[in-house]
Every structure is written in C-alpha cells, then in structure tokens.
A and B are shown apart, each in its own frame.
Chain A
Amino acid sequence: MTEARLTPVQRARQAERGRRFRQPAPYLRLACLVLAALVPLVVPSFQVLDLAAKIAIFAALVASYDVVLGYTGIVSFGHAMFFGFGAYAVALSLGKFGAPTYGHLAAGFLAGVALSATISVLIGAFSLRVKAIFFAMITLAFAEFALILAVQLTHITGGEDGLSPTLPGIFAVSYEGGRLGGIPVTGRLVTYYFILAICLVLFVVMARFIHSPLGRTLQAIRDNELRAEALGFRTFVFQIASSSFGSVVATVLGGCYVMWVRYANPESVLGIHVMLDLLLMVIIGGIGTLYGGIIGATFLLTSQTLLPHLRTLAASVFAGSMVMQRMTERWLLYFGILFILMVFFFPKGVIGTVRDALARRAPSPSSSPPHPDPPARGGCPTR
C-alpha cells in the first residue's frame, strides 16, 4: 500500500509506531518491571517484598480502574467490589472444598471472573442506558450492598473475621525449592513472581485494549458522546464492554491479592477505603494514562507503610498535645486535601503533567498529536 492511500488513522498509527522507541516511556516501564523483579534478589527484607507485591497488584488495579474512568469517562464506585469478588472467590474456593489444589485455585479465579462479568454487565445494563451519572450512584449502592452481604453471611464469608486460605503446592508458605543461584526459593518468592507475571500480562492486555479499535471508540465516546452516537455507535454497549473488562481485570487482581496476603475480610478487600485508595492513586498517577497507576500505587502504599513510623515520631515530638496527636492521627485528611488539590491544579496527575511539560519543551515536528495515549484535551470529558 502506498503512503497516499493510507487513511489518516493509519498514517497516525504508523507515525506512532515509528516514534515509539524514541520516547523515554517504554524504557521507564521496562525499568519499573526490572526493578520489581530485582526486589527479592537485592533486598532480603519481607516488608519490602510485601510492599513491592502490593504495589504491583495495586498498580495494575489502578490501571484497570483507569480504563473505566480515564478511557471511558464513567465513574464507578464498584471497582473495589469486583476486586473483592475475586478475593473472596479465590479464598472460598481454596478454603471451603478440602485440601487446596491448583484446580481449586484456577476454579476460584474462573468463578470470580464469571461472577464479576455477569454483575458488571447487569449493573451497566440498568444504569448506563439512561445516564452515565446513574452508574456512579448505582455502583456505590451495590458496593455497599456487597460489603453488608460479606459481613452478614458469616457461615460463608466468615463475617468480619474473613477467610485465611492456604495455598497449594509451590505457592504454599511451607514450600522449599532449594536454592537457585544462592537465593532460597520459597513459596513466597514463587508467589511473588507469579503475581508479577500476572500483573505484567494484565498490563499488556489493557494496553492492547485501549489501543484497539474498541478502545479508540471508547475514547471517542468519552470525548463527545453525542458525536459518537451520531456516528452510529451504540454508546452504552461500548461503555458496558469497557466497565466489564475493567471489572474482570480487577477480579483477577483480587485473586492475586488473596494469594499474596492469604487473607480476605470485608474491610481489606471490599471496603470503601479500598475504593478511596484507588481513587487517590488514579488521581495522583494521572487519569487516562494507564501507567499512572504505578506512580500512584507506589506513592500511596509507600507513604501508608511509613505513616505509623511518622506518627510515633510526631507523638514523641509533640508529646502531651492532644490537638497535635489528633491531627497526626487523621492522615486521611491530608490525603483528602491532596486529592482536591490534585484534581484542581494537576487534573492529569503526575504522568499527564510530565507528558504535557515534555510536549511543550519539544514540540513534535509532525502534524499528528505529540502523544499517543492521552486525549488531546486531557482526561476531562465533558459528557
């Protein structure tokens, strides 16, 4: 095919492909991956490994939320619920049907995915038909309902105490696989790399999803729903597809989370706090950037790990002052303020702001937009 006969979209994509490896972004992503893979080899501390695994899981979770929020422009408050579905499905499958096997593990993942897909399609069908804004309200109500169910159905979910499943075979805590190049291979290590691999695969799948024709249609709907409708797209079908896709990814990650912490209770996987954390992470990293989740998750989880230390420090410095003690106890307040300030002044988050700054400094010679991922107007659809 000659240059002249390409459609504008094809030409833009060709330019994009040509530019791909001249930008720092892919190398930074690769560096993140290498860093995560090196953590257990370099730092023998369990705390650090634990943090790294959670960052990997939450980075992918935030990215899956970003597919719904940033690339489709619909606000869901049920994302943590789907994460919880995955967590509970895997925990139940491993814990309730005799000695855990790999089959149980796989069945848990499959059951969670099937449940999430069904429920998210149903919620979408009820709410997105009328108004995208209904989606936010209805997902919030459903998330609350799921939380209450998990607390009340004590004979299944263990209520507030939750479930502590044991993992099969090479993932078990007791597993010892000898030494590999001087590093002892334990169940923890195997689980860590397994989770890292799943997160990597999910990231690749999500990147393919948003760059696929379907993903581009979603971005078109986000930027101007009326226009997309006028072009003949049944917008709400696409929105359902996107929210279901995001939910399924979240479910898989919920399963991974349980594999790592070996514990699922309503507060830790379904609660409103998981949802707030997710929102903070996506705002800090950047809406509509996909990889912003890595920055958001790293920042929030690291600071949450360090906060108790900070609090002890503050308590010893301001000993006796009740007000100061209360002020340091309420760290969520500062995250809330940070959240509002980010939305106001850096609505594109860290990655979006950096991308814009880079774009201003080195304007692209071609006529096509300088960056493939972010929308031309930033991640703020007007709907």
Chain B
Amino acid sequence: MRRAAPILAAAALFVLPLAFMDARTYVTLTVAGLAMGMLIFLVAAGLTLIFGLMDVLNFAHGAVFSWGAYVGFSVALLLNQRWGWATAPSVTLNVLLLAAAILAAMVVAVGLGILLERVIVRPVYGRHMFQILITLGATIVIEELIRMIWGPNDQVMPVPLTFQGSWDIADVIVLRFPVVAIVLGVLVYLGITLLLTRTRVGLIVRAGVENREMIQALGHNIYRYFTRVFAAGSALAALGGVMWAMFSQSVRPAMGGEQLIFAFIVVIIGGLGSVTGSLLGALIVGLSYNYVAFLVPKAAIGINMAIMVLILLLRPTGLFGSGK
C-alpha cells in the first residue's frame, strides 16, 4: 500500500484535468506533456545519477544542456545549408540529420563532462558548499562561452520535415515531434535501466550509490566511475538539449538554466539518486505544466512548485528517495 500511494496519486493527477476540457484537447496536451516530461527526464536522470553516486550537486548541468543544444544546432544548420537535409522530403535524410546533431552534441558533451569533472569538481569532492559555488562559476563561464561563440540572441533551430506538422488520428491532432521525443525518452529510460541492472558497470555504479567506501574497499577505482557517470550524465543533458531545441524550434544561451530549475524540481519530487523517481517526477511536472498552462496560463510554474512542496510535506525525501 505504501508503494502504491505515490502511483495512485500520480494517476489521479493524470485524469483530473479531463473534467475541465474536452477529450481531444486532453490528448493533445497529454502528448505535449509527456514529451516535455521525457525531455526533462533526460536532464534530471544525469543530475540524479551524478548526485546519487558522487554526492555532487552539479549546477553546471544546465550549461552542458545549452552546449548540447548549440552544437546540435550548428550541425543541423550546416547539414541543412550544405545539402538541405532538413528540408528534403526524405525520411532517411531527416532522421540522419537528427542523429548527426545528437551524436555531435553528445560527443562534445562527453568531452565537456570529463573536463568539468577532472578540473572543476574533483578538487572539491565532499564539500557541498564549494561544489555548488564552483559548478555555478563553471555555469557562468560555459554560458558566456556560448554567447561569445554563437552570439547572445535567440536563433531558429532547423527542424527536419518529417518531424514537422502532425498526424490526424480519429480527429485527434497529435504533433509529430513530441511523439519522437516520447519514444526517445522511453528508449533512454530502458537503456539506463538495463545498463544499471544487467551490466557489471551498472552493478558497480548501483553499489557505489549505496555505499561508496565498500566499493573502494573491494578494489574498484571509484573515481574512474565518477568520471564515466559524469560524462554519461552530460551526454544525456546534451541529448535533452538537442531535443528541446527541436521541440521549441529555437536555441537560447539561457535555455539550460531554465531547464535546470525544472530538473531540480523533478529530482526533488522523485527523490535524489533514483532514476525511476526522476522519470515519474518528470512526467508529473511535464503533464501538470501543460494542463495548467492551458487552463490557467499564469499559474503554470506555480503548480510545479506547489506539487514539490506538497510532496516534500508528505515524503520529505521524495517519492523514491532513500533518505540517505
């Protein structure tokens, strides 16, 4: 019963908006909300894993998200200007463009993540206050580098033709790109879960989340895993960045900071260190944001804060938090 309570609460929240709108609007909003939730999940998963394993609250995560978005933007722009991959009416070329943008963003983010972990985070392991301060300093630098390289203004992200527009299923309009985002999010969740539960690396990472000293005592170099998890988390953030850029069809230097706040809310709701928790939290945040933005536009951010406060009151460690 105790395990079922949060799931029941989420389900109730999921159906409640039906009372205020017609079913077609509801489906459209639900798809958009799930997509948004999945994209936030990509950011939150990295954040929660890094925190769970390394006890590091990485404020620079949002800046890596922005970097990913901009690298993906550059690649997409290049491919589209040179060969017209986005405007070509070919599904293969369109998908290739998305894949190339994501791959480039993730490669750059892995490099950035390793650099951040080695140079910025490693000297301050175990000191929370300094971690927050130093990763915040890194955020300033990384964001300013974006403004220096790509300029400070918003830019339009080229979206491949296949992902534009919508499908019309039984009079219900379902936008295409959100569906792609949902599929990708589910794949990433399954990927992370399989990696964590079915592989040796995942086993060690999970054990490290439980008890770091014991893993070290058993002869594993935990710092190597720190670097890997940090790089993987950064890659997820960059993936989220590219997808978000296509979802919103624009890139801005400050986009990462805004997503980071959503990711924080998600991680707090889901419980620090739990991947499943952040998936659930992200879906709650994405759905409630979209429903409320439709019903009471001005209260959209407020509803997430309210949910966060409510969950903290009921379960101070979050839905799946260990309370470590």
Chain A contacts to B: CB under 8 angstroms: 69, 73-75, 126-127, 129-134, 136-138, 140-142, 144-145, 148, 152, 272, 276, 279, 283, 326-327, 329-330, 332-333, 335-337, 339-340, 343-344, 347, 380-383
* Pair B129/A381 contact, Cβ less than 8 Å: yes
Known: A126-B309, A137-B57, A272-B257. A340 touches B128 (CB 8 A): no
* Pair B133/A333 contact, Cβ less than 8 Å: no
State the main secondary structure of chain B at its contact with A: helix
> Which of B140, B147, B265, B267 makes the CB contact (< 8 A) with A339?
B140
Chain A binder among B74-82, B219-227, B298-306: B298-306
B127 within 8 Å of A by Cβ? yes
* Pair A347/B141 contact, Cβ less than 8 Å: no
Query: Which residues from A are CB-within-8-Å of B302?
Result: 145
Interface string of B303-317 (1 = CB under 8 A from A): 001001100110011
Closest to B147 in A: A330
* Pair B301/A336 contact, Cβ less than 8 Å: no
Question: Which among A136, A152, A381 has the greatest number of chain B C-beta atoms within 10 A?
Answer: A136
* Pair B140/A141 contact, Cβ less than 8 Å: no
Task: Report the bound CA distance from A142 to B124 in whole Å.
Answer: 27
Known: A130-B316, A133-B128, A137-B57. A279 touches B133 (CB 8 A): yes
Task: Report the bound CA distance from A144 to B263 in whole Å.
Answer: 13
* Pair A344/B268 contact, Cβ less than 8 Å: no
Query: Which residues from A are CB-within-8-Å of B313?
Result: 126
* Pair A75/B305 contact, Cβ less than 8 Å: no
Query: Which residues from B are CB-within-8-Å of A272?
Result: 257
* Pair A333/B140 contact, Cβ less than 8 Å: yes
* Pair A132/B298 contact, Cβ less than 8 Å: no
What bracket does the count of chain B residues touching chain A fall in?
A: 35 or more
Within 8 A of A (CB), among B108-146: 120, 123-124, 126-130, 132-134, 136-141, 144-145
* Pair A380/B140 contact, Cβ less than 8 Å: no
* 27 CB < 8 A contacts A-B: A126-B309, A126-B312, A130-B312, A131-B272, A132-B128, A133-B128, A134-B312, A136-B132, A137-B264, A140-B264, A141-B264, A141-B305, A142-B305, A144-B261, A145-B305, A148-B301, A279-B136, A332-B144, A333-B140, A333-B145, A335-B140, A340-B137, A340-B141, A343-B124, A343-B133, A343-B134, A381-B127
* Pair A340/B147 contact, Cβ less than 8 Å: no
Further contacts, 18 of them, CB under 8 A, given A145-B305, A381-B129: A69-B129, A74-B129, A75-B133, A126-B309, A127-B312, A130-B312, A134-B312, A136-B132, A137-B267, A138-B264, A138-B268, A142-B305, A144-B301, A152-B298, A327-B148, A336-B140, A336-B141, A344-B123
Closest to A334 in B: B144
Closest to B145 in A: A333
Query: Which residues from A are CB-within-8-Å of B57?
Result: 133, 136-137
Known: A330-B148, A332-B140, A336-B140. A134 touches B268 (CB 8 A): yes
| A-B interface, 7 closest residue pairs, ranked by CB to CB distance from nearest | A336-B140, A333-B144, A339-B137, A336-B141, A340-B137, A137-B264, A130-B316
Task: Report the bound CA distance from A381 to B134 in whole Å.
Answer: 15
* Pair B129/A380 contact, Cβ less than 8 Å: yes
Known: A130-B316, A333-B140, A333-B141. A75 touches B120 (CB 8 A): no
* Pair A140/B261 contact, Cβ less than 8 Å: yes
Query: Which residues from B are CB-within-8-Å of A343?
Result: 124, 130, 133-134, 137
Task: Report the bound CA distance from A327 to B144 in whole Å.
Answer: 10
Task: Report the bound CA distance from A329 to B264 in whole Å.
Answer: 31
Q: How far is the CB of A333 from chain B (nearest CB, A)?
A: 4
Query: Which residues from B are CB-within-8-Å of A335?
Result: 140
Query: Which residues from B are CB-within-8-Å of A336?
Result: 137-141, 144
* Pair B141/A73 contact, Cβ less than 8 Å: no
* Pair B261/A333 contact, Cβ less than 8 Å: no
Task: Report the bound CA distance from A379 to B305 in whole Å.
Answer: 32
Closest to B133 in A: A343
Task: Report the bound CA distance from A327 to B128 in whole Å.
Answer: 32
Query: Which residues from A are CB-within-8-Å of B124?
Result: 343
Query: Which residues from A are CB-within-8-Å of B257?
Result: 272
Query: Which residues from A are CB-within-8-Å of B136?
Result: 279, 339
> Which of B134, B145, B261 makes the CB contact (< 8 A) with A340?
B134
Q: How far is the CB of B64 from chain A (nearest CB, A)?
A: 15
* Pair B268/A145 contact, Cβ less than 8 Å: no
Task: Report the bound CA distance from A144 to B148 in whole Å.
Answer: 25
Q: How far is the CB of B272 from chain A (nearest CB, A)?
A: 8
Interface string of B133-167 (1 = CB under 8 A from A): 11011111100110110010000000000000000
* Pair A130/B317 contact, Cβ less than 8 Å: yes
Task: Report the bound CA distance from A317 to B111 in whole Å.
Answer: 35
Query: Which residues from A are CB-within-8-Å of B148?
Result: 326-327, 329-330, 333
Task: Report the bound CA distance from A134 to B141 in whole Å.
Answer: 24
Question: Which among A74, A138, A340 has the greatest number of chain B C-beta atoms within 10 A?
Answer: A340
* Pair B145/A344 contact, Cβ less than 8 Å: no
Known: A133-B57, A337-B141. A141 touches B129 (CB 8 A): no
Known: A339-B140, A340-B134, A340-B137. A383 touches B129 (CB 8 A): yes
Within 8 A of A (CB), among B268-324: 268, 272, 298, 301-302, 305, 308-309, 312-313, 316-317, 323
Q: How far is the CB of B126 from chain A (nearest CB, A)?
A: 6
Query: Which residues from A are CB-within-8-Å of B126?
Result: 382
